[in-house]
């Protein structure tokens, strides 16, 4: 049992201020901060927090126990990340990603591409309940299509992430959509219906912005190059609609509630099988061209799962689209996630995060300030604890009684947790969400952040509704006649 005294506010803030200083220095001194400098900064700040914790009376065993529990909570994300690396490899050599790009270039007009990227990502994520699976599959293909059209990859990534996180937030199959009402004390369908008030306007604004952006984007020569891109793809891969079976099966598995880890593993296996069936020349080239086809198949598929794979075409401009790091390419990201979990675990185990949240709660005197404080806390936990689940669970626990005393219905809390917690995790470079999507899409978090329109608008929308007193439900409406029911 923890025996340390509660930290003061300044003691709790000291490791965070120190971390901010180190991260700022890293941005100014290193070209690639995710290659190691940010990881060391997080672990150094964790060491400082642990030192303060020991001074407060916590034993190392107290801190280590909480630290390991926090790391354990991130293990599913780490396993999924490894599988996504493997998926990118087998879907590359099987021709699935190239085929999606090839046919996408035929049906998606450049002017409406960004709008379509948001919309397609919305539909897939709604059906699967997973933003991560959507981004790692359809999202990667959309990124390739948009890149071939000459659109800035950061803008494309923002469109994909916006649509994927809308679906993740609104789908009854999503884990966060189930977690938020469970923490607040309401049912999932009340939660989803109530979220629509803030989420629908947010996604409509997002769609309009990307539609306007697409119609005003300067494409010039890139549009003329699309036929040459398709010719290069067809010259290097066997392109056939049969390859669509692989992503369709994966989506169906997730829709039918197969857990993400076995579902993505099935997608990896299917990708390998289809590579052997349809891309014999690629299999032979990757294996060095010697021995039986069975031996070559094993070598090529295995290499695509664990290591770097590149397929060269006649068009040098698109060769960057056809490379994968496999599982090995995900190791720096996993290192970052583990470092972030260490920092978050120490901060949580020594009561520092709780102390900061308590200070925020004391400032909340009205409905609007309470909701704003909740949203700020969820974002704060995404930055400090580096995991979207913690950004829902901890503020959910901390603010539950405050909402009850204020007379607010539990769906007000659950909506705020999702509006601010679920969607902002992907905006933090060292959060499991931000680190993963940056690696999967090959676009730095800080680059796509300004274009993740939906993710930026959502927390602002929930705060705006609070201050305008729009659809803020109370347990006793008669005492709050201004609240919409």
pLDDT tens, residue order, the chain (485 aa): 456 688 898 999 899 889 888 878 887 788 776 778 888 988 999 999 999 999 999 888 888 888 888 788 778 878 887 888 898 889 889 988 888 878 877 777 888 899 999 998 888 888 677 788 788 878 888 898 888 888 899 999 999 999 999 988 888 767 788 778 877 888 888 888 899 999 999 999 999 999 999 988 886 555 546 677 788 888 889 999 999 899 889 888 877 878 878 988 999 999 999 999 999 999 998 888 767 899 999 999 999 999 988 888 777 766 766 888 889 988 887 887 788 788 888 888 888 878 877 787 777 778 888 899 899 888 988 887 777 777 887 788 778 778 888 888 989 999 999 999 889 999 998 888 898 899 889 899 999 999 999 999 999 999 999 999 888 888 776 555 444 44
Tokens read off for 371 = 């909701």
Q: What is the pLDDT of residue 35?
A: 77
Q: What is the pLDDT of residue 271?
A: 93
Please state, in angstroms and rounded to a whole number, the distance separating the CA atoms of residues 353 and 344.
Answer: 8
The residues near 192 (Cβ < 8 Å, ≥ 6 apart) are 170, 172, 177
Q: What is the pLDDT of residue 127?
A: 67
Q: Which pTM was predicted?
A: 0.74
For the beta carbon of residue 271, count every other beta carbon within 10 angstroms. 28
Q: What is the pLDDT of residue 356?
A: 79
∠ CA 298-302-303, rounded to 5°: 120
Q: What is the pLDDT of residue 485?
A: 42
343 secondary structure, DSSP code: H
Please state, in angstroms and rounded to a whole number, the distance separating the CA atoms of residues 142 and 157.
Answer: 9
| Under 8 Å between Cβ of 199 and 166 | yes
Closest by CA to 246, choosing from 225, 218, 273, 216, is: 273
Closest by CA to 412, choosing from 430, 399, 425, is: 399
Please state, in angstroms and rounded to a whole number, the distance separating the CA atoms of residues 147 and 464.
Answer: 35
Strand blocks (E) in 247-382? 309-310, 323-324
| Under 8 Å between Cβ of 304 and 324 | yes
Q: What is the pLDDT of residue 482?
A: 44
Please state, in angstroms and rounded to a whole number, the distance separating the CA atoms of residues 234 and 213.
Answer: 30
């Amino acid at each position: 049992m923890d025996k340390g005294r509660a930290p003061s506010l300044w003691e709790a803030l000291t490791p965070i201020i120190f971390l901010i200083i180190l991260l700022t220095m890293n941005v100014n001194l290193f070209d690639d901060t995710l290659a190691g400098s940010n990881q060391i900064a997080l672990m150094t700040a964790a060491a400082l927090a642990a030192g303060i914790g020991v001074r407060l009376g916590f034993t190392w065993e107290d801190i280590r126990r909480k630290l390991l529990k926090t790391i354990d909570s991130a293990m599913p994300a780490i396993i999924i990340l490894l599988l996504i690396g493997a998926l990118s490899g087998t879907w590359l050599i099987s021709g699935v990603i190239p085929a999606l790009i090839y046919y996408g270039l035929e049906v998606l007009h450049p002017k409406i591409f960004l709008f379509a990227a948001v919309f397609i990502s919305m539909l897939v994520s709604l059906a699967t309940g997973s933003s991560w699976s959507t981004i790692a599959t359809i999202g990667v293909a959309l990124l390739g299509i948009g890149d071939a059209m000459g659109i800035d990859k950061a803008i494309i990534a923002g469109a994909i992430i916006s649509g994927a996180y809308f679906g993740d937030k609104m789908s009854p199959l999503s884990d966060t959509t189930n977690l938020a009402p469970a923490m607040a004390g309401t049912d999932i369908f009340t939660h989803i219906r109530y979220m629509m008030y803030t989420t629908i306007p947010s996604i409509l604004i997002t769609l309009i912005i990307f539609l306007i952006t697409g119609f005003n984007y300067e494409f010039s020569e890139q549009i003329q190059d699309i036929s040459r891109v398709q010719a290069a793809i067809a010259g290097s891969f066997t392109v056939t609609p049969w390859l669509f079976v692989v992503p369709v099966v994966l989506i169906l598995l997730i829709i039918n509630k197969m857990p993400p880890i076995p579902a993505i593993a099935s997608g990896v296996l299917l990708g390998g099988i289809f590579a052997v069936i349809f891309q014999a020349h690629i299999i032979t080239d990757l294996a060095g061209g010697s021995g039986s086809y069975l031996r070559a198949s094993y070598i090529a598929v295995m290499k695509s799962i664990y290591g770097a794979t590149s397929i060269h075409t006649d068009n040098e401009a698109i060769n960057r689209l056809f490379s994968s790091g496999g599982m090995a390419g995900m190791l720096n990201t996993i290192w970052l996630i583990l470092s972030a979990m260490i920092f978050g675990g120490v901060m949580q185990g020594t009561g520092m995060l709780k102390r900061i949240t308590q200070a925020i709660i004391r400032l909340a005197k009205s409905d609007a300030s309470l909701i704003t404080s909740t949203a700020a806390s969820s974002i704060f936990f995404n930055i400090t604890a580096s995991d979207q689940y913690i950004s829902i669970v901890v503020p959910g626990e901390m603010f539950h009684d405050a909402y009850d005393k204020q007379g607010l219905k539990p769906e007000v809390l659950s909506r705020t947790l999702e509006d601010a917690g679920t969607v902002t995790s992907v905006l933090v470079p060292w959060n499991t969400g931000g680190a993963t999507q940056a690696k999967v899409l090959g676009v730095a978090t800080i680059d796509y952040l300004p274009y993740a329109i939906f993710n930026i608008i959502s927390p602002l929308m929930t705060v705006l509704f609070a201050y305008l007193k729009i659809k803020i439900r109370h347990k006793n409406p008669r005492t709050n006649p201004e609240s919409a029911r």
